Amino acid sequence: MNIQSAINKELFIPHNERMLVAVEVERRKRKRLSFLPTASKGRYTTFICLSVTNTKPHQLHITKVKQFDGSPSFTRRSQWTVEQLRQVNGINPNKDSPEFDLVFDNTVDQWVASSAAEKCIFVQILYHTRRKSYVPPRQTEFINCQSKLTGGNTVANVVQRMNVALGERGDRLTRAEDKTVELMHKAQQFADNAHKAHSCALYKHK
């Protein structure tokens, strides 16, 4: 199981959400905090995740997730609705860069992704998903987010391929989850019937 699947299974599925994409990030500028909880000490990896609720009306969420060194589990740190997102800034319009800013109502996060490609895929999926299916009452401003990847492939082409792959993967996951639920129900019914048969057999022998 890869990181994205693990995050989705541990943090989003139990909350009736489905993760669309996640990008590993580091802060460009460290925030100075006067107090850190004991659980937050040590090295960790940060992910910015985009998810959608399964219930209608659908809600898009942006969630900050951390995984501390030596721990297999993930921790949900902060979550915003897309309505709280005011601006996405790709920083440099003249070259591919892994840097980007997310400006919310009450905070500004300045990130560096693992690569420019991963940053662009995250931003473009956020842009197209918000625009296509989950348009908020207040619009989000996207600045310098139409850069090109190396090798002549535009971000739009990469995103299109990613969207197709994500859609196919989502369909497979949905079918697998439905099949799992069906098998669980059948197993439970079999266990109940076996228990009843066993009880009847014991009763007849008395």
Q: 4-37: per-residue pLDDT in tens?
A: 899 999 999 999 999 999 999 999 876 554 444 5
Residue 198 covered by a domain: no
Q: How confident is the model at residue 194 (pLDDT cuts 50, 70, 90)?
A: low
How far is the CA of 202 from the CAs of 47, 190, 193, 195, 205, in angstroms? 56, 18, 14, 11, 5
Locate 193 and state its tokens.
Answer: 């019937």
The pLDDT score that the predictor gives to residue 197 is 64
As a dihedral over the C-alpha atoms of residue 101, residue 121, residue 23, residue 11, rounded to 10 degrees, the angle is 110
Burial 168-188 (b: 16+ CB within 10 A, else e): eeeeeeeeeeeeeeeeeeeee
pLDDT of 141 strictly over 80: yes
Q: What confidence category does residue 47 fall into, taking pLDDT thresholds of 50, 70 and 90?
A: very high
- First-last CA distance in the chain: 51
Q: Does the residue 206 lie in any domain? A: no
Structural domain boundaries enclosing 19 = 3-193
In a domain, 72, yes or no: yes
The CATH number of whichever domain residue 148 belongs to comes to 2.30.29.90
pLDDT grade, residue 150 (50/70/90)?
very low
Please state the domain count of the chain: 1
Mean pLDDT, residues 97-102: 93
The pTM assigned to this predicted structure is 0.66
Q: Which pLDDT does position 118 carry in this prediction?
A: 92
Residue 111 has pLDDT above 70, yes or no: yes
89 occurs within a structural domain: yes
pLDDT (0 to 100) of residue 40:
46
Distances (CA, A) of 137 to 2, 131, 154, 178, 181: 35, 11, 29, 33, 36
Percentage of residues of the chain with pLDDT beyond 70 = 60
For residue 39, the model assigns a pLDDT of 47
Contact 125, 50 (CB under 8 A): yes
For residue 117, the tally of other CB atoms under 10 A from its CB is: 16
Whether 169 shows a pLDDT value over 60: the answer reads: no
Residue 172 phi/psi, 5-degree rounding, is -65, -45
Query: Average pLDDT, whole number, for the chain?
Result: 77
Domain presence at residue 139: yes
Q: Is residue 93 in a domain? A: yes
